[in-house]
Chains A and B, each alone.
With several copies, the nearest count.
Chain A
Amino acid sequence: MDLSLDDTQQLVRNSARDFLAESVDRLYVRDMEDDERGYTDEFWKSVAELGWTGMIVPEQHGGAGMSLIELSLVLEEMGAAAAPGPFFSTAVVGAHAISAHGNDDQKSKYLPRLVSGELITSLAILEGGASWEAGGIRMSARRSEDGWRLNGEKVFVADAGVADLFIVAARTGENGPPEESITLFLVEASTIENNKMERLESVADDRYYVVDFQDVVVPPDGVLGEVDGGWPLLKQTLDLAAVAKCAEMVGGSRRAVDMTLEYVKERVQFGRPIGTFQAVQHRAAEMATDLEIARQFTYRAAWALSEGKGDGTEVATAKAFLSEKFSEICASAHQLHGAIGYTQEHDLQIYSRRAASAKVAFGDARHHREVLAELMGL
């Protein structure tokens, strides 16, 4: 047991803090909320230059070859800064899916461009019922003379508007359990007509789209992993994404706690800082305790995935806990801020809206508690 950061990790964390303190201020965050793409080229370029896009990409493909732990440290800082953009879709989901599941050709073709910031990826899995289970994937993929043809609609496709490459899960067979006939495809954006995308207006800064795949052709080399073997790979990527999302949430929670502590020390009512009131103190203590647990759960899960240890308990525990607690911490922060935190002008609401988005991404608390129940043999 050793919960401390090593030198590299400290460096990663500090450089993330420094960069984000300079590059992402409240005005940028607000501007980007109204921006169609949700980020600036300048920001994206800097992120790539810092090597963050390639953080978990193997070194032979131009990446840093680091683990989910280091990536989580960056994500925690991005969550704290509420930094917008397609980083998660690309540097977490896309980078992992291609690095872990791609063949050499695919890796050589896509990873260097992903690392350099030229390639933005997007995950297209969910359909109508928005279920994270294998059974929710019904999009059909049929063999054709030119490879595969995909038909079906995907929802909550993040960053679809700017993505160059989609990682799409589709059904390549109808028999047997739903887990056994799913295949992952790499679909280049150029093959989808733009008017088949519709932007959803969501609570936070996500750029979610409905994408209608109508007879989209994927060449044979667009299959990621084995035909019919997509589900276990997808599960791996979803697990990693869930933990990475937790890291973002830890950052957001931390900022909400810090903002609150600062506010209650300053705000005077009844002739004294409201931070002297016991109700305020106890609430703050509970927020800080939940934050501490959130942090432990998250890094333990990141460590377990990095080391190939654990049985899924760490991932499910982290996401089940964070999904609830980030929102609860924000709710407490609002209560202690009073009216001012309720205004659009105030930063706090940015975090509570992020919490509402993050809690359902990659499985909500109910989903992950069910996973835990299965793992416990219940």
Chain B
Amino acid sequence: MRYEFTAEEEAFRAELLEWIENEVPEDLRGIGRAASDEEWENELRVRRQLADKGWLTLAWPTEYGGQGAPMMQQVIFNEEMVYHRIPGREPFGTRMLAPTLMVHGTEEQRRKYLPPIARGEVQWCQGYSEPDSGSDLASLQMRAVDDGDDFVVNGSKIWTSLAHRADWIFFLVRTDPDAPKHRGISFLLAPMDTPGISVEPIINMAGHHSFNQVFFEDVRVPKENLVGELNRGWYVAATLLDFERSGVDYPAQARRTLDDLIEYAHSTLGADGEPLSKDPDIRRKFVELSIETDAARSIAYEVADMQAHGEIPNKEASMSKTLGTKLVQDVYGFGVDLLGMYGQLRPGSPRAVLEGRMLDMQLTTVAFTIFAGTTEIQKNIIATRGLGLPRG
């Protein structure tokens, strides 16, 4: 039992922090949602730097161009990148598609798709949800019909992050409408410039263009772009392959935000002339949120530790996601409250405090408990898969 990182792991952290300090200027750091073209350029620039360092695919096995880094190193990397608000990490290619291809792809697919991801040269996006298939993803309806060497795809995908920046999309389609719903789905790949694919932006409530609806109209996808077996796409997608599932990003983000808020509270006087950090209500909230952060981080570490020991976390990963997403909502919500009347000012507004980030992220994080499996679905999973309660 050891509740601290090893000297080697700390050495990696030190190297990373030094790189951040020396190589990533302050103006490149930020929320990193790549909403503007300028932010996107920054994103790509840092990504290429990460690729050069080998850090973009830190956890990939060496045979596919990764570092085969131990789990805890990847956790440290994620923690520090988030804490310092460094852009450049890329989940869709490096963490979602790549492991899928490593297991389910053909040798040819691996050789074709993995190297550009490792070099940070290609942006992937993920086409899973559809307008009528959210929590009940397996009910998806987008059709792919067999037509000679191709599938012909019709339908639409929604909530597709970065579709407007992406070069390629991996997506799920229904290839057998008569089979039980989980057994008629296939997993395909396509370039975003394939004729018939069009992208419509969706603006979120924070005013950002964060995702899209992607329409497929008679899109021809060569059969060689099928990953895994025909009609087994649900299982290809559902295999829990991610290199790092700990969810440590959330507590790292929360810790950074709390640190910023504590600094603000120390340096800002309340109506009584004392620093806000001496206000008992505010003090108490800081302590509570700090415990909540610590809780989410502890479970994240536990998930990583399980992965490091070759165990497959399931209820723990759902716990981590549930805790982490609630945590960031709570932290930004408190941040907005702490700023009082100023909490309502948007980024860029005159008089905005802490760059308006609290409000912007409070609005943004509304979706965190919804996307990638709602909190309700996560709790269902914990109860049934984790605790063995019977399904309803």
Contacts and interface: CB of A to CB of B under 8 A. Distances in A.
B369 interface: yes
Interface stretch (A76-84, A104-112, A221-229, A268-276): A268-276
A265 B388 CA distance: 9
A352 B384 CA distance: 26
B382 A2 contact: no
B369 A335 contact: yes
A339 B371 contact: yes
Interface string A351-378: 0110011011000101001001100111
Contacts of A346: 205
B379 interface: yes
B207 A344 contact: yes
Contact of B344 (A199, A203, A289, A349): A203
Contact of B389 (A265, A292, A321): A265
A27 B383 CA distance: 32
B376 interface: yes
A285 B204 contact: no
B370 A304 contact: no
B387 A376 contact: no
A303 B3 contact: yes
Nearest to A302: B1
Nearest to A294: B295
Contacts of B98: none
Nearest to A359: B337
A243 to B, nearest CB: 13
Contact of A366 (B281, B305, B344): B281
Interface stretch (A53-61, A131-139, A183-191): A131-139
Given A1-B3, A203-B359, A289 B351 contact: no
A356 B359 contact: yes
Interface centre among B5, B204, B387, by most A CB within 10 Å? B387
Interface residues of A, number: 87
Interface string A292-323: 11001101100110000100001001001100
Interface in B298-323: 298-299, 301-302, 304-305, 308-309, 315-316, 319, 322-323
Contacts of A352: 205, 363, 366
Given A202-B346, A289-B323, A2 B375 contact: no
A205 B237 CA distance: 43
Given A200-B345, A303-B1, A331-B366, A364 B340 contact: yes
A69 interface: yes
Q: What is the interface of chain A mostly: helix, strand, loop, or mixed?
A: helix
A338 interface: yes
Nearest to B336: A356
A210 to B, nearest CB: 7
A235 to B, nearest CB: 15
Contacts of B367: 339, 342
A202 B344 contact: yes
Interface stretch (A3-11, A39-47, A168-176): A3-11
A224 to B, nearest CB: 23
B288 A369 contact: yes
A277 B371 CA distance: 19
Contacts of A342: 204-205, 366-367, 370
B348 interface: yes
Contacts of B295: 293, 296-297, 321
A372 B383 contact: no
A261 interface: yes
B386 interface: yes
Interface centre among B4, B72, B299, B315, by most A CB within 10 Å? B4
Shortest Cβ-Cβ A-B pairs, 4 listed: A281-B383, A349-B205, A201-B349, A285-B382
Given A284-B382, A353-B205, 15 more contacts: A1-B305, A133-B271, A201-B352, A210-B351, A272-B390, A275-B383, A281-B380, A285-B387, A288-B315, A297-B298, A331-B366, A338-B134, A339-B370, A343-B205, A378-B278
Interface of B: 1-6, 9, 72, 75, 129, 132-136, 139, 158-159, 202-205, 207, 262, 265-266, 269-271, 277-278, 281, 283-284, 286-288, 290-291, 294-295, 298-299, 301-302, 304-305, 308-309, 315-316, 319, 322-323, 329, 336-337, 340-346, 348-352, 359, 362-363, 366-367, 369-371, 374-376, 378-380, 382-384, 386-392
